[in-house]
Amino acid sequence: MIPADAPTARDEAARALVRAGLARIAPGPDLDALEDTADLRDALELDSLDFLAFVEQLSRTTGVRIEEDDYPRLRTVASAAAFLTAAGVP
Amino acid sequence: MPSLGADMDAGTVVEWAVAPGDHVHRGDLVAAVETEKSVIDVECFEDGVVERLLVPVGTKVAVGTPLAVIAPEGATPAPTPAPTPALTPAPAPAAGTPERDGAASLPRATPPVRRFAERLGLDVARLPGTGPHGTVTHADVRAAASTGTTARTDTTDTTDTTDTTVPSPTPTVPPAAPAERPRITPYARRLAAERGTPPEALRPGADGVVRARDVPAGTGATPTRTPRPTPQPTRPTTPPSPRPAAQGMRAAIAARMTRSLAIPQYHVDSVLELGAPLDRLREVNRRLPVSERIVPAALLLHATARAARRVPELNGHWVDDTLVPATTVALGVVVSLRGGGLLVPTIPAADELTLSELMAALRDVVARARTGRLRTSDAADAGLTVTDLGETGGHSVHGRIFPPQVALVGFGAVVRRPWAEGDLLGVRPTVTATLTGDHRATDGVVGGRFLHAIDDVLHDTEEWS
């Protein structure tokens, strides 16, 4: 439903996917207040198991295999969304 | 009442997940018990038929008190059935258990069937039963699920169209949160009523069911902050006030750590180089599905468990002025909770697990701790405890021993440091491992030997399987 030639809409959708993934792991006021450019592990106090659960979640909802080497690209909501759109999602 | 972990000598039954007549099996979750620190799911440790529940909900009893009478399968109800301490929490039946209904003398379904239904978001009380005496069978549940009948657990919910038919937390891709009213156990419903909390303000635990622990204390609608699959329907306008459970947890930690103060303790530490182990871990993870990926914390726990086998003097209890060595490596794992506090569940026989198995055990037990659904097997006594600050934590931790244990192992964050290899200086990932030992039981040299053993295991590729 999102036109492929609408990068802004795609980016919005990708951010929503990232936030939906985070909402499964660390829902609450901290997530609501999370800036798109904030370090999400610090802001949400995610430990390695939480982060892995987030990666797994994101991988499952998007179908994108996320390697450990890609973790640095998932530092913020914005960078994670950019990673997803670069991988062709949504 | 099964053992609920060190320092817990009593517990309050807050839920029964079975009723007289139910068939139960070893490992079934039959009841939930509340301690000062958490709610623990009680696992049944034998097969049979529940004959009588001996301890009503809301009653506090000492560890060792029989909770229920379970007759052997097939036996006629015996006058002297074996008391059953139960161990793990059972997913409570949805509203409408036989005891609440009063009329039903026969259970509508066995616990496995009930759980199966619960997973599918169905309530057995509202399903047509084709089994003996109108009981609901697996087939009935399957049939109801496939036809999408209206037998949803919460009949007042007309918007519940997602998630409940999904057995695992499969995310719904659209980020828009479905408005979903969670299922609620009878006890939780009563608590909420007593505390004046409107049902719509309740948020379920990770399994989608509102239980007693999810009901906020006091009168305000200040939902507790437990991880849950969907965004909350209502947001508290005031910061969550401290819950009695949290206060109980602080008190329990305070009591235990104050007791630890009486132990003469020594500290040793060592910086461990992790270059090769982490490279290897990366290789292993590249071949694994994301869901089975192994985190460095599991690697460190695994090495500690194996090291405890090599240096047994640090795995045991100090009892009556004597070290009683443990016969297995039951590893306590410090789990910090969102919103403060910690729990220390146990991974039994941790030294016998492969790295992958340990990772799975760690994931499961941390998830249960964080959702407040620990089981009695998680509450087994540990012989040695590990605390890991995690990747974003401090560089080292010098913890205090959890009595009656005689040692505590601590890991700081993995950090890159200059590292001398021969005459060359490089930069390597490292971790500072610390050991706090009970000086009555061992001396610092043993602690040092233990840290070396951890290092050896980390670099011994044969230890990984």
Reported as a single tens digit per residue, the pLDDT across B235-260 is 444 444 445 556 778 888 888 889 89
From chain B, pick out residues whose CB is under 8 angstroms from the CB of A75. Answer: none
Residue A53 lies in a domain: yes
Residue A2 lies in a domain: no
Contact (CB<8Å) B291/A56: yes
Task: Give residue B86's pLDDT.
Answer: 44
- Percent of chain B residues past pLDDT 90, beyond the cut: 36
Task: Give residue B339's pLDDT.
Answer: 77
- CB of A1 less than 8 A from some CB of B: no
- Residue scoring higher pLDDT (B188 or B65): B65
**Residue of chain A nearest B285, judged by CA positions:** A68
**d(CA B159, nearest CA chain A) in Å:** 20
**d(CA A8, nearest CA chain B) in Å:** 17
Would you place residue B43 in the very low, low, confident or very high pLDDT band (cuts 50, 70, 90)?
confident
Task: Give residue B356's pLDDT.
Answer: 95
**Residue of chain B nearest A27, judged by CA positions:** B227
Contact (CB<8Å) A60/B170: yes
**Residue of chain A nearest B237, judged by CA positions:** A29
Helix and strand numbers (H, E) in chain A are: 5, 0
Please, what sign has the CA dihedral across residues B120, B124, B128, B130?
positive
Residue B258 lies in a domain: no
Residue A47 lies in a domain: yes
**Residue of chain B nearest A51, judged by CA positions:** B295
- Residue scoring higher pLDDT (B224 or B141): B141
Among B239-243, B429-433, B460-464, the minimum mean pLDDT is found in B239-243
Task: Give residue B220's pLDDT.
Answer: 35
Asked if residue B151 has pLDDT above 60, the reply is no
- CB of A75 less than 8 A from some CB of B: no
- Percent of chain B residues past pLDDT 70, beyond the cut: 64
Task: Give residue B80's pLDDT.
Answer: 43
Residue B437 lies in a domain: yes
Residue B234 lies in a domain: no
Residue B368 lies in a domain: yes
Residue B309 lies in a domain: yes
Asked if residue A88 has pLDDT above 80, the reply is yes
CATH number of the structural domain spanning residue B403: 3.30.559.10
Would you place residue B205 in the very low, low, confident or very high pLDDT band (cuts 50, 70, 90)?
low
Please, what sign has the CA dihedral across residues B284, B286, B291, B297?
positive
Asked if residue B233 has pLDDT above 50, the reply is no
Task: Give residue B158's pLDDT.
Answer: 37
Asked if residue B153 has pLDDT above 80, the reply is no
Structurally, chain B folds into a number of domains equal to 1
**Residue of chain A nearest B228, judged by CA positions:** A24
Asked if residue B156 has pLDDT above 70, the reply is no
Asked if residue A79 has pLDDT above 90, the reply is yes
Task: Give residue B166's pLDDT.
Answer: 34
Once rounded to an integer, what is the mean pLDDT over residues B117-141? 67
| Mean pLDDT across chain B | 76
Contact (CB<8Å) B229/A49: no
From chain B, pick out residues whose CB is under 8 angstroms from the CB of A20. Answer: 171, 173-175
Task: Give residue A23's pLDDT.
Answer: 92
Structurally, chain A folds into a number of domains equal to 1
Cβ pairs bridging A and B (under 8 Å): 73
Residue A78 lies in a domain: yes
Contact (CB<8Å) A21/B171: yes
Per-residue buried b or exposed e for B217-250, using 16+ beta carbons within 10 Å of the residue's own CB: beebbbbbbbbbbbbbeeebeeebeebebbebbe
**d(CA B26, nearest CA chain A) in Å:** 29
Once rounded to an integer, what is the mean pLDDT over residues A71-83? 94
Would you place residue B185 in the very low, low, confident or very high pLDDT band (cuts 50, 70, 90)?
low
Reported as a single tens digit per residue, the pLDDT across A32-55 is 899 999 999 989 989 999 999 999
Among B22-31, B190-199, B340-349, the minimum mean pLDDT is found in B190-199
Residue B284 lies in a domain: yes
**Which of A41, A48, A61 is closest, CB to CB, to B171?**
A61
Contact B35, B85 (CB under 8 A): no
Contact (CB<8Å) A20/B171: yes
**Which of B177, B229, B297 is closest, CB to CB, to A48?**
B297
Asked if residue B35 has pLDDT above 90, the reply is no
**Residue of chain A nearest B174, judged by CA positions:** A17
**d(CA A4, nearest CA chain B) in Å:** 17
Q: Which of B370, B392, B411, B414 to mutate to test the interface with A (most CBs of A within 10 A)?
A: B392
- Residue scoring higher pLDDT (B231 or A85): A85
Reported as a single tens digit per residue, the pLDDT across B69-125 is 888 876 654 444 444 444 434 444 333 333 333 333 345 666 666 776 776 667 766
Q: Which of A12, A47, A66 to mutate to test the interface with B (most CBs of B within 10 A)?
A: A47
Asked if residue B421 has pLDDT above 50, the reply is yes
Would you place residue B281 in the very low, low, confident or very high pLDDT band (cuts 50, 70, 90)?
very high
Residue B59 lies in a domain: no
Contact (CB<8Å) A24/B225: no
- CB of A72 less than 8 A from some CB of B: no
Task: Give residue B334's pLDDT.
Answer: 94
**d(CA A28, nearest CA chain B) in Å:** 7
- CB of A27 less than 8 A from some CB of B: yes
Contact (CB<8Å) A65/B225: no
Once rounded to an integer, what is the mean pLDDT over residues B19-29? 87
**Which of B290, B297, B363 is closest, CB to CB, to A55?**
B290
Task: Give residue B320's pLDDT.
Answer: 93
Residue B330 lies in a domain: yes
| Mean pLDDT across chain A | 88
Of A64-78, B203-217, B387-401, the range with the highest mean pLDDT is: A64-78
Q: Which domain holds residue B343?
A: 264-464
From chain B, pick out residues whose CB is under 8 angstroms from the CB of A24. Answer: 169, 171, 227, 229
Task: Give residue B99's pLDDT.
Answer: 35
Asked if residue B433 has pLDDT above 70, the reply is yes
Q: Which domain holds residue A72?
A: 7-86
Reported as a single tens digit per residue, the pLDDT across B158-178 is 333 333 333 333 333 333 334
Contact (CB<8Å) A17/B173: yes
Residue A1 lies in a domain: no
Contact (CB<8Å) A52/B297: no
**d(CA A6, nearest CA chain B) in Å:** 18
From chain B, pick out residues whose CB is under 8 angstroms from the CB of A48. Answer: 295-297, 390-391
Would you place residue A6 in the very low, low, confident or very high pLDDT band (cuts 50, 70, 90)?
low
Task: Give residue B90's pLDDT.
Answer: 40
Contact (CB<8Å) A48/B295: yes
Task: Give residue B47's pLDDT.
Answer: 87
Once rounded to an integer, what is the mean pLDDT over residues B258-271? 94
CATH number of the structural domain spanning residue A62: 1.10.1200.10
Asked if residue B374 has pLDDT above 60, the reply is yes
Would you place residue B218 in the very low, low, confident or very high pLDDT band (cuts 50, 70, 90)?
very low
